[in-house]
Structure 1
Amino acid sequence: MNFRTILILGALTAFGPLAIDFYLPAFPSMALAFGTDEKHVQLTLSAYFFGLSIGQLAYGPVADRFGRRIPLLTGLVLFTLASLACAYAPNLEWLIGARFVQALGGCAGMVIGRAVVADKCDAVESAKVFSQLMLVMGLAPILAPMLGGLLVNTTGWQSIFLVLTGFSAMAGLAVALGLPESLPAHVPRQPLSGALRQYGRLLTDPIYMGHALTGGIAIAGMFAYIAGSPFIFIKLYGVPPEHFGWLFGTNAAGFILVAQINARLLAKRGPAFLLSRAVWVYFGAGLTLLAVSTLHTEALWPLLIPLFICVASLGCISPNAAASAMNGQGARAGSASALLGCMQFSVAAGASALVGVLHDGTAVPMAMVISLCGLLVVSAAMLTRRMQNARALAKAQAEV
């Protein structure tokens, strides 16, 4: 896969984190503008997660039936229009609705980006490409909060959504000019009427579901961090909004670094092996974060260390879980990608909402949700590993 394609796919997969991370420093300003509190502003984040989860289910079968380009361009147009609606939202209810529609458009790039990789690569090569995409996509969490904080302090929170409008328009142009159809002509197009049947087969495939849940629950822990960090960093520990991005970017840099290390390790070890090791790092860091948060330290750095390790470990967990789940999906790659993303963001929506529900003015709710995600990730990964080994053993015995 050439560099231009990877760059375009990176921009498409960045729609999710960019549309989330960019406006996090604006939470206090938005709460003031709409005469509410940050707990209610967090509903705009939950609405976006909800839109991402259900929207992906629609794009998967459409991409398997009509190819990758048409639904992708349609989603980009929808994201552009919804971003404008967010910028000129007259009240919080309008903004929540516009964020939902924005997510319906933005998830097209996420679904179809994974499907394009599956169209062109095998399992190991897919894991390498997904790791490379983390490098491109990881720039969003580094740069977005920094730029978002700067825009909030200079031109107001509305300018954040105007920038998103321009970004999506440029991404649409890049797709139109530089991303050819990847679904091979000889692959049979899946009828829309069979969408539920395809999802049913995927839901009853224990190996696919195990890998999808492993990656999805791990990502949910990251979104618990995304939902809780504006309050913890800015309000609880007094970090200025314009400096919020530096802390957020440091964690994203760890995520990128581990993803690139993972790409190199794949030459010696398969994605399943690396995944089974990384989940324990995530779990251990989550437990440490919970223990530190209960101490209510006056300094921020004791929280930052285990939080950094949690986020960094996702650079190994996310690409390997995605590649393992997408391996061998063939003609139903679009549906497999859609269901994978739906589960990820459904759990993420629940995790971010849970952080808001448990909000008590400390860092404990965020840490509690992350550590719970770590426990579930380890359980899902280990169970899936055992099922894979049992299936391989049964196949070997049958061949004998």
Structure 2
Amino acid sequence: MPRSSFILVVAMLSAFGLIASDVYLPAMPSMTHAFGIADWQMPQTVSFYLLALAVSQLVYGPLSDRYGRKPVLMGAGLLYLVGSLGCAAAGSYSAFLAWRMIEAMGAAAGLVIGRALIADTCDKRTSAKVYAIVYPLVSLSPALAPVIGGHLAAQFGWRADFIFVAGFGAVALLLALIRLPETLPAAARVRTNPFNGFSQVLRDRGFRRYTLVVCAIYCAWFVYLTQSPFLLTRAGLSEEQIGWMYLPLTAGIIGANWLTKRGLEYWPYDRLVAAGVVCFALGGVVFLGVAAMDWRNAAGVVLPMCLVSLANGSSLSLSVSGAIAAEHGHAATASGLVGFCQIGSAALMAMAISAVFGTSLAVLAGAVAMFSLIALGACLGSCLHHGRD
């Protein structure tokens, strides 16, 4: 196992992009009024951020395979800081959207290179154990970020959220500069066209199957993140109260990660993936029941998602590890590609669902149920082909 300082820095690098995604969720309704836009437009800032985050990951994987992990990480980190400060200073919706995309282009490096650092230093099962430590730390960001962001927005205005984001990113980059070794020696770097690895990764059946599970879980998660602030506001909650509503989900993610780490000692790898997906499907069923009963209070929005959070804490981390450590032999390229598929699909689905169907409990329930069926189908395909230890 890598040292604890290594794991902590990797977790921070992986988290700062997600913190920037989630920190202003409780402030979305007030930002909608500040920019003078319609309700459905504000969730698009999350979707465009995720799209830029997704596409940028395709670039950082091959570049870090060619030039090393740390130089690429440091350059992208500076872009992230500039984008975050630009968001804080934005005077219009269009300017805010542009700075969000610049912020995302920098944040993508932390996700890609964080996963590549783990793959450089661990085999598949050890990687899964490291993810079981990293993911609870990373999972604190979508829960704590809205809590912090809600209080900062209430006390100082929404711009303070992005000043906080820039500060967190600066600390993470400083620690990476001081504490992280270069895990890809010059002799191991790709000398040919670094983008040639995409075809080899995509031909790997294991990569495709694990990535489908990752995408299904993440799509459901981000549809929830873009729908829930409006549903909770309609339920009568304030910005500060909405921020606290994401903590139970983090508890589910952390608990599932802990059980997954223990379960790797006794259960086959894919059986653990399937167990999390079953929880995902149960969450979809409960959501449909709550929507059918027209249960519009906060519990009806949060409690079904707690079941989905168990899949986020188990199947998601295992599937990311499995996709990167599959037989293709291109860790950083696979890291960028799985990140592109994961976040790109979530961005497109969250954007399309909000724009086409609006925000309602029925829309959220239908989306979660649909994505859980996709994940179940991927697990069934895995069982039909062969089991993995």
Q: TM-score, normalised by structure 1?
A: 0.93
Helix, strand or coil at the partner of 1:260:
helix
Asked whether 1:210 is paired with 2:209, we answer yes
Alignment of 1:243-392 (within 5 A): 243-328=241-326, 332-360=330-358, 362-389=360-387
Partners of 2:60 and 2:382 lie apart in 1 by 27
Cα pair 1:127 1:323 within 8 Å, conserved: yes
Task: Give the deviation of 1:330 after TM superposition.
Answer: 7.5
**1:177 paired to 2:178:** yes
CA contact (8 A) 2:119 2:325 kept: yes
For each residue in 1:267-307, what CA deviation from the matched residue of structure 2 results, as whole angstroms up to 9, or x when unmatched? 11232220022212211211221221132124332443221
**Which residue of the partner structure matches residue 146 of structure 1?**
147
Aligned position for 1:49? 50
**1:265 CA displacement:** 0.9
What is the CA deviation profile of residues 60-88 of structure 1, one whole-angstrom value per residue up to 9, with x for unaligned ones? 10011111101111111110000011011
| Aligned-partner residue type, residue 74 of structure 1 | G
Contact 1:62 1:71 in 2 (8 A): yes
The answer to whether the 8 Å contact 2:83/2:102 transfers is yes
AA matched with 1:190: V
Aligned-partner residue type, residue 218 of structure 2:
I
- Whichever residue aligns with residue 384 of structure 2, its letter is R
The CA deviation at 1:93 is 0.6
Query: Displacement, 1:361?
Result: 5.0
Moved over 6 A (4+): none
Q: Is the 8 A contact 1:276 1:385 kept in 2?
A: no
Deviation at 1:381, TM superposition (A): 2.0
Q: In the TM superposition, what are the counterparts of 1:97-246 in structure 2 within 5 Å?
A: 97-187=98-188, 189-191=189-191, 193-195=193-195, 197-234=196-233, 236-246=234-244
Rounded Cα–Cα distance in structure 2 between residues aligned with 1:283 and 1:176: 42
Q: 1:257 to 1:199 in 2, by over 3 A?
A: same
Contact 2:64 2:72 in 1 (8 A): yes
Summarize deviations over 1:215-274 as a string: whole Å, max 9, x none: 12211111111111100112x211111011211111111111111111111111232220
Q: CA deviation at 1:104?
A: 0.7
Partner of 1:36: 37
SS in 2 for 1:175: helix
Structure 2 counterpart of 1:305, one-letter code: L
- Say whether the 8 Å CA contact 1:206–1:384 is kept in structure 2: no
Q: Secondary structure at the match of 1:263?
A: helix
Instruction: Give the match for residue 395 of structure 1.
Output: none
Aligned residues of 1:151 and 1:160 also touching (Cα < 8 A): yes
Structure 2: distance between partners of 1:103 and 1:334: 19
How far the C-alpha of 1:357 sits from its partner, in A, is 2.1
Residue type matched to 2:374 in 1?
L
* CA distance in 2 between partners of 1:85 and 1:12 (Å): 20
CA contact (8 A) 1:76 1:106 kept: yes
Q: Structure 1 residues 332, 361: closer, same or farther in 2, change over 3 A?
A: closer
In the aligned structure 1, how far is the partner of 2:201 from the partner of 2:359? Answer: 41
**Considering only aligned residues, what root-mean-square deviation do their CA atoms show, in Å?**
1.7
Mapped partners of 1:157, 1:261: distance in 2: 37
Q: CA contact under 8 A between 2:204 and 2:326: conserved in structure 1?
A: no
Count how many residue pairs are aligned between Structure 1 and Structure 2.
388
Distance 1:46 1:264, change over 3 A: same
**Amino acid corresponding to residue 247 of structure 1 in structure 2:** M
Residues 167-188 of structure 1, C-alpha deviations (whole Å, 9 max, x = no match): 111111111111110114542x
Residue pair 1:290, 1:367 contacting (<8 A) in 2 also: yes
Counterpart position of 2:77: 76
Which amino acid in structure 1 is aligned with residue 193 of structure 2? Answer: S
Contact 2:56-2:108 within 8 A present in 1 as well = yes
* Aligned-partner Cα distance in 2 for 1:150–1:334: 37
1:345–1:106 distance in 2 versus 1, CA, 3 Å? same
1:19 aligns with 2:20: yes
- Structure 2 Cα separation of the partners of residues 381 and 96 of structure 1: 37
The one-letter code matched in structure 2 to 1:193 is N
Distance in 2 (CA, whole Å) between partners of 1:100 and 1:388 is 41
Q: Partner of 1:397 in structure 2?
A: none
Instruction: Could you tell me which runs of 5 or more consecutive residues in structure 1 were left unpaired when the two chains were aligned.
Output: 393-400
The structure-2 alpha-carbon separation of the partners of 1:315 and 1:361, relative to structure 1 and needing over 3 Å to count, comes to closer
Q: Which 5+ residue runs of structure 2 have no aligned equivalent?
A: none
Counterpart mapping for 1:62-73 below 5 A: 62-73=63-74
